[in-house]
Each structure stands twice: as C-alpha cells, then as structure tokens.
Amino acid sequence: MTELTAHGFAYSDGDVDTNTSSNPSLNAMIEQRYSRRAALRSGAMAASAAVFGGAVLAGCDSAASGSDPFPNIISVGSSGTTKAGRVVTLTANVTDNGAVTSTWVQTQGPTVTLINPSSTTPSFIAPAVAGATTLRFEYRATDTAGQVTIENVDVTINAAELGFTSIAKNRNDVVTVPTGYSVSVLTRLGDPIASGVSAYKNDGTDTDFANRIGDHGDALYWYGLSAAGARDDNSSVRGLLVQNHENLNVQYLHPAGPTTPGGVRPEAEAIKEIEAHGVSVTEVVEGANRAWTYVQNSAFNRRITPSTPMVFNGPVRSAALLRTPYSTDGTAGRGTINNCANGHTMWGTNITCEENWAGYFRRSGDDAQRTARELVALRRYGVTSSSGNYGWSTVTPADSGNTLFRRWDARATVGGSATTDWRNEPNQFGWVVEIDPYDKTKAPRKRTALGRMGHEGAWFGNATPGRKLAVYLGDDSRGEYFYKFVSNATWTASDAQASDRLATGDKYLDAGTLYVARFNADGTGNWLPLVFGQVPNRPAAGADPEYVFADQADILTHARLAADAVGATRMDRPEWTATNPVTGEIYLTLTNNNATLRQITGTDAANPRHYSDPKGASNQFGNPNGHILRLRENGDDPASLTFAWDIYLFGADSVDANSDVNISGLTATNDFSSPDGLWFSRPSNPGGLVKPLLWIQTDDGAFTDRTNNQMLVAMPGVTGDGANVTITNRGNGGTTGTQTTRRGALATDATLKRFLVGPIGCEITGVDTTPDGRTLFVGIQHPGEDGTAAAPDSSWPATQATGAAPAGTRPRSAVVVITKNDGGVVGL
C-alpha cells in the first residue's frame, strides 16, 4: 500500500473542476464529494462504471473527526470494472488550506502492489482472477488540524481477455503491432557488446563478430539481474538477454557477398561467418520513460561461438564416437552451431539447441573409408554435403596449426583415425547445450542424455517437487520425431537457487531416459524408451543395411535410428514446444510438410492433412500451413508413458482453404501458416495465470503472398475441447482420401488474434517478457533474406521509425521491445 505525503496538493486529471479557493460552501463541498471528480482509469479506457453513494459517503461521514468545520475534500474516484492484467490508476483529490498526510490502504481482495506509490496517482496491475473479484482501497487524509477523512473505492476485476484489436496482414518493411502498443529496436546484428568495439557500419566491412551481436537471432530468454548484479528472477528492469544466432544472411556480411577466390574461402571471411553464429548474452536495462537499451560494456556480455570450448556430459561423454584430434578422450569439443530454439531451467541456466548442423560439414567422398554402420548413421543425419554450407574447411589459415577450419572437413582419411582426422567432428553436434548466463567463466555443457538429432528446442514440463523432470524435444526435419527426456532425479525445489547452476544441471540432465512419441489414432499416445537392450535393431531401409546398436552411447548419438527401430510416429517437422504453466499440457508446433515426403497416402491422425494451398498460380501440396499439437500426460505425471493428445490449431489461408483444410475456422483476423516459435506467458504475471497466453510465431514461405511472417496471441482451452472430424484430402492429380483427426475447439476472435507482423523477408522467432509481463522481447530473424548486397530487399530495422531508409541500407536481424502504452501487461 502506498502513503502519500502531500502539502496542500490539489490534483486534477483535467476532466473536472478543482476548486482550491477558501471557504467553500457546505453545499459545494457535498456536491464535490458526489462529483467523484477524480477518476479511476482502467487500461486504455476510462472506467465508466461510476458507483455513487454507500461506501464513499459513509466513509466521509463516519470517519470525519476533529473540530475543523471545513474537512478535507477527498475524491478517490468512481468505483469501476476492469480485467486482469490491465492498469488501474487510483486518483485522489484533496483540497484543503493546509498540509495533509494521506495513505492508501487496500482493504479487500487479492493483494496488489502499487506502482509509483509516491505519486498522486498510484496504479496497479489488475491481478489474475478466474472470475469477478472486488478489490477495495481506502484513502485516508489528515489535515493540519488533525481532521481525518476517508473514502473508499472498489475495483472489480474480471478474468483476462485478449486486450487488443487484431492487426491486418501486411507486407510492409516494418514491425507492425496493435494500436496502443509501441515498438523499439533493442539489439541488432553487429551491435558491439564489448568496450572499445566500433559501431557497426553495416556495409560488409565490419569484423570482430565475437564481440558483436550475431546474425539470425533466434530464440531468446530473459534472465533477471538485481541492482547489485546478482541473479534475480523477479527483476523486470535489468537483466540478461540470451539469444541464439542460428545462421547467416551471408550476402550482407561482406562488402559484395561471400567470395571464393581460387575455390578457397578467404580466412577473414570465414572467421566472420563462424563468429556470427552461436549465442549472445547481453545485459539490457529499462531507463526513463520505459526506454530499453543494451549495455555495451557490461561485464556479463558474452559471445559463445562455434569455436568456444565446450564440455561433454552424460552417457556419451568419453565414448569413442566423440573422439577427435581436439579431444582424444571424447570429453570436450569446440563450439555450438545452428542454435535454433531454446529452453531454460528452473535453476537459472539457459539451454541452446543445435538444429541444422549437419550441412556445415564437408563429408561426401569418403565412403570407402567408412564402415557400413557409419554410412547408415551419416546418411540418416544428412552428413552428406560435398562442400559444407559455407566451405569453411577450404580455408588455408595463416597459422598452419589452426584446425578451426579443417575441422569442418569430416572426411575420413586413408589410413587415418578418429584422432588424426575429423571424421567424428559431426558427432560433436546435434546436442542440447546448457549455459550459465550469469557466469561467463564456465564452459557450456553438452547434455548427451537428451540425445542427438536436429534439436529445435528443449522445453521443460512444469516441475513438481518429488516428481521427475521432463524435457520435451522436437527434431525439426520432415518426418522426424518428437522426444521426451525424463530425469532420474526427482525435483527438489531448493535446487532452483543452488549456487552451482551447472552442477545442478548435472544432477537433472545427465542421467535419465530418452523417449520418443507414438501417436495413436484414438487420441492416446505412448512414450517409447530409447534404452539399449530394449530397442530392436533398426531394420534395413532402402540401400541401408540393418543397424545393430552397440551400446547406450550409440543409441543416444543416433537417436533417430533408435526411434525408427521402435516405431515412433513420423511428424510434420516438430519445432518448438511450450508448456501451459497452469494445466501442464505440452504444445508442439508442426511447421509444415511437403508432398514429396508426406504423400496423400501417408497421413495419420496426428499429421492429417494433405492438400494444396495455392500461392499465386502455384500449387503447394502436402501440409504447407502446418498445425499445433498438444498433449496431456496421464496423471499429469512427467514420467508417464502414456498421454492424451489432440490438434489444438491448424494453420490455413482463410481465403484459399475449404473446410477440409481450414479445420480450426480461421478468419482474416487470425489466419496463419507454418507455426514455429511457441511460448506461454510467464506465470509471474497475469498473462501466464488462470488461462495463460500462448504466443505463436511463424516461419513461413507458403503464405507470404498474403503477409510477411507474424506472431499471434491465443488463449487456448484444454486437450479434448474440440471434436473428432473426418476430412477429405486432395492430392496432386485429383487423388483423394479421407482422414479422421482430433481437432481442438474452433478458433474465435476471443481466443486467437494477430499481434505482430514483421518486415519483408523475415521469420519471427524468439519471444519472452520480463517477469512482470509489461515488456515483450521478440526476435526478427533474417529480414531481407532474398535480397543481395547490391540490392537488399529489406532495410529493416532502419525503416522502423519512419517506414523508410536510405536506398541500399542493409537489413539486420534484431530484437524488438514491445510495450503497451498504458504500462499494462502486453497482450491483455
């Protein structure tokens, strides 16, 4: 509660007449009391429900005391109604001849914290409630004669709703957000994050990316800092933003794009490209007027790149599969790459996930030096490139002993071995990596118990003391699987604040069981353990012979083969997972699939659609728009071997799609395609309580004739809130088939709205808020990805302020900050 010390203050919010003259008539005073001239303002709208009489008048009459014949005139405003997450401002008017002291006291309802308690207009964020709930505030003023006057105001809070008008799809070169919200740019590709590093020129000549924000910012997460610079999970004004840097818009990193003189990549270009990958840790702070900036010289700032020393933990540590010339005992490695989605732990660490790492290696041409088993595994993981994505292994370094380029050549050499060539270097990638964002001296740890795949993200289910922890893992490639890791250790809540965070990670993430999902047509599912001795041989497939697993390290390193062997369900590209903080249900984006891999005869209940979403004159067959699946563990037990599932939402082009395709009933205000990023609001604010907000980000190429990529906000129900439906699929050439599936409740304007549209050529990926929910961070990845150095097709974020930028301005991936102009919880 706040205490206002005022000296004859006479505040007016402008819509009333404040009479500060002396000797008011008694009638005038009473009239003023009834006028309730101060306002209770709620969100963007003035509360209109003025409740006169009763409580307020009684307060004045009953509490007035002393001998002053002209007691203070207090007006604390109309009682009113609002919704959870919105700003409520209490306004007190006190008119008197002399000094007064005054106090606000909450006397009823869930306790709230007043913001700016020393101001004359304290405010608070309406708390999360399941239904109408009344909060009462008493305002008490004492004048110089000791005269005390009291008034009360009641504020009724209703359950949260999406509190904005859905924005239109567009193809503008800016980030668009709803009316009532503001966007600012926080960190951009190339921004210097160490002292003495020059400002980014953005003309292709910049160097030193190990001290700059990397390219292709992807998943991000806020780690709070106290004023003293310690971990503070409640801080919403100072923190560390940990962001993945997945890949490159390589055309903009060099003056005229990448070069390959004589078939060899120049060392300086390769260094830039390598260092622009990885992870960044950047201190960010909120300043005056809610302006957010990053701190260039912060001692916390850190870059983790594909060259940063790493440690291997878990069952595969020391395995022969991990031995390289750099680590002949298979315990260490260098770097992380293609870091896509993320995770965070209850103990304050960050998780980054290695997704499309395979293509960075040159490998083809060494089949004669590989065993049949190795070749099965290399093909299954796509380690087949004849050059590597950027040709880094072609560099002839000035320091001939430098193996940081040679390591990207994974060809087994004639007469060589795992410790003389880099044949095992691909085995060092495809893992989940844990980072302590608060301690840059600690090497990241690769958690091999969570398996090796094209890891999209690693998101924990809700932690319950005494129960095991579950981590949900998408493997993002067409037809890949959905996995779950279950810890051996049961959760001890005090571990959340353990001083050695990575040691806590050792406890929960180095020992456990990896499972893969099988989805049954009846809406049930099974978690199939990938445990040596329980996994059968992987049958021969195509040119590949049967694969016989050697041990648990083999199974974890080749989790895809083990999942094949146990009969997991092939999915339409598993991307992010998100955990509903209230229900514990797990949501999974299945971004899309194409007709080449998943033909009309290959649908199933969990991957049910096969159709064309026309794009201009072109057909796009398969499941071009994707869907979002959800599941609930039986007994809400993280270690359950069975679950229930349905399909929460189907992406669709609401214009082109018929009812067999637009199964969720999308409209122009909420249609979308290719869901990827997925995140529930934090339960530390009303956005993540009672009926939490789900943020859906798109990485789409099928719907870009209608709109740039976008982010929506949803208020989902629960698994099983829809119905079984049977759809007719239509394939190329007129083939048809039927498929029964389980759809969730239809989308409505109250449950799904478009919140953000990004600039040209971008993907929206990476989302978090401060714990109070009032500041939203969103990653805008690869704007202008289809342009060239000579002709960029986006100039964002330079365009953000005015919609335009000087011709030729190169685009940059960046993080934007979005705030609600009235200071409320974003989205509500």
Binding site for ligand FEO (CB under 6 A): 246, 340, 355, 456, 476, 575, 676
Q: Which is nearer to ligand FEO, 246 or 633 (CB)?
A: 246
- The string of DSSP letters for 501-520 reads HHHHHHHHHSSEEEEEEEE-
Cα(430)–Cα(433) distance, integer angstroms: 9
Residue at 70: amino acid letter: F
Q: What number of other Cβ atoms are within 10 A of residue 297's Cβ? A: 12
**Binds 246: which of ligand FEO, Ca ion, none (CB < 5-8 Å by kind):** ligand FEO
The smaller minimum CB distance to ligand FEO, of residues 283 and 700, is found at 700
Minimal distance, residue 338 CB to ligand FEO, in Å: 7
**Minimal distance in Å, beta carbon 614 to Ca ion?**
5
Instruction: Label residue 383 exposed, middle or buried (CB < 10 Å: 0-12, 13-18, 19+).
Output: buried
Name the site residues for Ca ion (rule: CB under 5 A).
340, 613-614, 653, 656, 676, 699
Q: Which is nearer to Ca ion, 584 or 614 (CB)?
A: 614
Lookup result for tokens 């009462």: 136
Which two three-digit tokens encode residue 640? 């359950």
Per DSSP, the residues of 619-663 read: --EEETT-EEEEEEEGGG-TT-SEEEEEEEEE-B-TTT--TTT-T
The smaller minimum CB distance to ligand FEO, of residues 355 and 495, is found at 355
CB of 576 to ligand FEO, least distance (A): 8
Q: How far apart are CA 191 and CA 200, in angstroms?
A: 6
- Burial profile 578-595: b = 16 or more Cβ within 10 angstroms, e = fewer: bbbbbbbbbbbbbbbbbb
> Residue 197 or 219: which CB sits closer to ligand FEO?
219
For the bound state, the minimum distance from the C-beta of residue 761 to ligand FEO, rounded and expressed in Å, comes to 16
| Cβ 341 to ligand FEO shortest distance, Å | 7
CA distance 479 to 593: 8
Torsion on CA atoms 460, 583, 591, 649, rounded to nearest 10? 180
**Nearest distance, CB of residue 553 and ligand FEO, angstroms:** 26
240 three-class SS: strand
Q: Which of 148, 143, 33 is nearest to 97 (CA)?
A: 143
Helices (H), 64-135: none
Choose the one of ligand FEO, Ca ion, none that binds residue 656, judging by a C-beta under 5 to 8 angstroms depending on kind.
Ca ion
| Rounded-to-integer distance, Cα 420 and Cα 415, Å | 9
Cα 499 from Cα 288, distance rounded (Å) = 33
What's the closest the beta carbon of residue 450 comes to ligand FEO, in angstroms?
17
Picked from ligand FEO, Ca ion, none, the partner binding residue 653 (CB below 5 to 8 A depending on kind) is Ca ion
Nearest residue (CB) to ligand FEO, 457 versus 608: 457
Query: Rounded to the nearest whole angstrom, what is the least distance from the CB of residue 434 to ligand FEO in the complex?
Result: 19
Residue 731: CB minimum distance to ligand FEO, A: 25
- CA dist., res. 703 & res. 709, Å (int): 8
What does each C-alpha distance from 668 to 500, 698, 747 come to in angstroms? 50, 16, 12
Whole-angstrom CA distances from 515 to 354, 455, 475, 486, 535 are 19, 14, 13, 8, 11
Q: What are phi and psi of 149, to 5 degrees?
A: -130, 140
Q: Minimal distance in Å, beta carbon 439 to ligand FEO?
A: 27
279 or 663: whose CB is closer to ligand FEO?
279
Nearest approach in angstroms of CB 216 to ligand FEO is: 9
Task: Look at residue 355 and give the partner it binds from Ca ion, ligand FEO, none, a contact being a CB closer than 5 to 8 Å depending on partner kind.
Answer: ligand FEO
CB 622 within 8 A of CB 598: yes
- Of the pair 754, 782, the CB lying nearest ligand FEO is at 782
366 binds, among ligand FEO, Ca ion, none (CB under 5 to 8 A by kind): none
* Closer by beta carbon to Ca ion, 106 or else 625: 625
* Residue whose CB is less far from ligand FEO, 246 or 421: 246
Q: For ligand FEO, give the closer residue by CB, 525 or 766.
A: 766
Residues, the chain, total?
Answer: 828
Q: What is the smallest separation between the CB atom of 136 and Ca ion, expressed in angstroms? A: 47
Is the CB of residue 195 less than 8 Å from the CB of residue 205? no
Give me the sign of the Cα torsion angle 224, 229, 232, 236: negative
Between 269 and 575, name the residue whose CB sits nearer to ligand FEO: 575
Determine the Cα–Cα distance for residues 630 and 722; give it in Å rounded to an integer.
12
Residue with tokens 């050059």: 387
State yes or no: cis peptide before 71, omega within 30 of 0: no
Helix axes 54-63, 26-35, angle to 10 degrees: 140
Q: Rounded to the nearest whole angstrom, what is the least distance from the CB of residue 574 to Ca ion in the complex?
A: 10
Rg for the chain, CA atoms, rounded: 29
Of 502 and 516, the one with the shorter C-beta distance to ligand FEO is 516
Query: By C-alpha distance, which of 479, 516, 694 is closest to 590?
Result: 479
